Amino acid sequence: MAYIYPAPGVANVELTLEIEVSGDTNALAIPALQDITINNANDVFTWTQLDSGSKFNIPTTASNSIDMNLVVDQTVFFGSGSGADVAVNKGLFGLSKDKKLISFSLYMGDTNSGSAGKTISGTGYVVGLAPTVSADSPVWVTPVSITVVGDYTVA
């Protein structure tokens, strides 16, 4: 078996997520991920026929998204406020508020101690920000979703 191990805290092997806007030189690295879910939900068209007692199904287009929760880092969330790199400058909040089309790259981790794991990439929009804090969780945490435009690319 070749289980994918996200290797928390192990440089060059751990799961990483980077976001950029077309033309950026440097990507916005997303730290403090608590969990992440890669969704590929195919829709299904269903119909019935008078000559059959069963329903028929055909898969149609997929709705793709990446959903995660993270501990809010002020600079990553609100951006650096300067510089030519749009993603770094605006942060997650600015990218969502301004409806910027982003490119993302998610390195899933590896099956051993090397760095030969799979990377899922694509384009989409940052949505679903809802920062929250409580007495039981005294740091800000937020869900974040990337609604994917088109297909994923796996490399």
**Would you state the CATH architecture of domain 16-154?**
Beta Barrel (2.40)
Percent pLDDT > 90 in the chain is 78
The CA-based diameter of the chain, rounded to the nearest angstrom, is 66
Residues 21-79: tens digit of each pLDDT: 999 999 999 999 999 999 999 999 999 999 999 999 999 999 999 999 999 999 999 99
Q: Is 80 exceeded by the pLDDT of residue 5?
A: no
* Nearest alpha carbon to residue 32 among 14, 56, 5: 14
Domain ranges of the chain: 16-154
Residues 122-134: tens digit of each pLDDT: 999 999 999 999 9
* Contact by Cβ (8 Å): 30, 19: yes
The two structure tokens encoding residue 117: 């794991």
- φ/ψ of residue 38, rounded to 5: -100, 120
* Kind and range of the H or E run holding 40: strand 33-47
Q: What pLDDT, on the 0 to 100 scale, is given for residue 91?
A: 96
Global pTM reads 0.86
